[in-house]
Amino acid sequence: MEIAIVGSGCARCKQTAEVVRKAVEQAGVDATICKVEDIREIMKFRVLTTPAVAIDGEVKISGRVPTVEEITSLLTP
């Protein structure tokens, strides 16, 4: 599973990255977390507001910092 944190690297993007890291740890899933900060790459996700979280290329959350519980629910079946 690949999780992308999409955003310019602002404080909210950093918060989102930390939330995702905690959720992956709590869920015990095997996931690669990457940050997408290049504007050209951000545009490929068609995200209008950041931060955004994409799981396996599909944007799941956009425009706000999610909670650990939200991310965990997306990671577990």
Catalytic positions, written as ranges:
10, 13
- Classify burial at 5, counting beta carbons within 10 Å of its beta carbon; exposed 0-12, middle 13-18, buried 19 or more: buried
SS3 content of the chain, % helix, strand, coil (to 5): 40, 25, 35
